[in-house]
Amino acid sequence: MSFGSIIAVVFLVFVATTIFKGVRIVPQGYKWIVQRLGKYHTTLNPGLNFVIPYIDEIAYKVTTKDIVLDIPSQEVITRDNAVLLMNAVAYINLTTPEKAVYGIENYTWAIQNLVQTSLRSIVGEMDLDDALSSRDHIKAKLKAAISDDISDWGITLKTVEIQDIQPSSTMQSAMEAQAAAERQRRATVTRADGEKQAAILEADGRLEASRRDAEAQVVLAEASQKAIEMVTSAVGDKEIPVAYLLGEQYIKSMQEMAKSNNAKTVVLPADVMNTIRGVMGRGS
């Protein structure tokens, strides 16, 4: 190959390289940061772009899509000294790529640490019960705490979510013991209330029974009084009819005692013979 041919080939290679370096096609979803002689010059948007070959260079290729940052799990201490294990996830977008690459060394690492620090500060002002039941409140305060800081880096915080909140193993054991003690206390209170109500009902039953017995005795006494008054009115001053009625009632009582299965002894009056003579004499 002649010297002229070599020169031509070298020239064609140089031209092709120059065109390749001067024409840049940026894909959708990305922005490219251009440096001119080591200094920031411009940002290339998606599509066809032209730069000065050998002077301008592509320093950074930055995505404009939303970026998901996983915030590692960490121990957080609440205001009442309870230890929680918490992790989160943040969704960010690089609205100004040149600020993100020139404003901070590593924006992903910085945001992760910023979220962790803010999370410890927010939860540290809350009690355990509030921290476990107030995810939306923590989320809102966390977003407000870090949005202004990362905006200086040209980054927008779309949202941040609390993925998981779990007590530490020691706290879980303590909470389980507390829950068991609370259930035992409730069972004891319920059992005591039941026994109290049963005792009240039993006392009320005894009181009602005593009241009914007293009323029955009063009724019987009134009935006996009326019967005596009727007998007295009927016999007047005569003693024989009265004695006869009393003796008749006495005999009936003796007969009922004799018919009873549990009756082992029949009690007879001491003057039974005189009573029989009186009855026989009255009958004749």
Is residue 165 within 8 A of residue 131, CB to CB? The reply is yes
Q: Residue 74: which residues within 8 A CB-CB, separation 6 or more?
A: 85, 86, 87, 116, 119, 120
Query: Does 264 or 126 have the greater pLDDT score?
Result: 126
Mean pLDDT rounded to a whole number for the chain: 80
Structure tokens belonging to residue 258: 């004799």
Q: Which long-range contacts (CB under 8 A, 24 or more apart) does 188-193 make?
A: none
Question: Are 99 and 60 a contacting pair, CB within 8 Å?
Answer: no
Token pair for 10: 């070298």
Confidence category of residue 235, pLDDT binned at 50, 70, 90: low
Residue 283 has pLDDT above 50, yes or no: no
Question: Which residues have a Cβ under 8 Å from the Cβ of 62 and sit 6 or more positions away?
Answer: 30, 31, 32, 33, 94, 97, 100, 101
Q: What is the pLDDT of residue 2?
A: 73
Selected residue with higher pLDDT from 229 and 181: 181
User: CA geometry: angle at 177 spanning 171 and 179, to 5°?
Assistant: 100
192 with 231, same domain: the answer is yes
**Domain total for the chain?**
4
Let me know: does 175 contact 78? Beta carbons within 8 Å.
Answer: no
Judgement on whether residues 163 and 229 belong to the same structural domain of the protein: no
pLDDT at residue 130 is higher than 60: yes
Residue at which a domain ends, from 43, 63, 83? 63
Query: Are both 71 and 161 inside the same structural domain?
Result: yes
More confident residue, 232 or 201: 201
The domain that holds 136 is classified in CATH as 3.30.479.30
At residue 273 the predicted structure's pLDDT band, cuts being 50, 70 and 90, is very low
Confidence (pTM) = 0.57
The pLDDT tens digits for 25-77 are 999 999 999 999 889 999 999 999 998 888 989 999 999 999 999 989 888 88
pLDDT at site 279? 47
Q: Which of 76-90, 94-108, 112-126, 162-176 has the lowest mean pLDDT?
A: 162-176
Whether 55 and 126 map to the same domain: the answer is: no
Measure the CA–CA gap between 40 and 140, rounded to whole angstroms.
Answer: 36
Range of the domain at 258: 237-284
Whether the predicted pLDDT of 210 surpasses 90: no
Give SS3 for 31.
strand
Predicted confidence at residue 176, as pLDDT, reads: 63
pLDDT at res. 232: 67
Q: Are 274 and 243 in contact (CB under 8 A)?
A: no
User: Do 145 and 85 fall into the same domain?
Assistant: yes
Q: 112 and 57: one domain? A: no
Q: Which of 26, 44, 63 is the last residue of a domain?
A: 63
For residues 188 and 265, membership in a common domain is answered with no
- 266: pLDDT strictly greater than 60: no
Q: Are residues 195 and 272 in the same domain?
A: no
Report the range of poorest mean pLDDT among 18-27, 80-89, 125-134, 223-232.
223-232
Whether residue 59 is found in the same domain as residue 72:
no
Q: Give the pLDDT of residue 166.
A: 82
Residue 86 has pLDDT above 50, yes or no: yes
Last-in-domain residue among 118, 144, 167? 167
Same domain for 159 and 82, yes or no, is: yes
What pLDDT is stored for residue 91 in this prediction? 94
- 149 lies in the same domain as 90: yes
| Residue 176 dihedral angles phi and psi, to the nearest 5° | -65, -40
Q: 105-114, 156-165, 182-191: which range is least confident on average?
A: 182-191
**172-190 mean pLDDT:** 74
Higher pLDDT, 134 or 241: 134
222 and 198 in one domain? yes
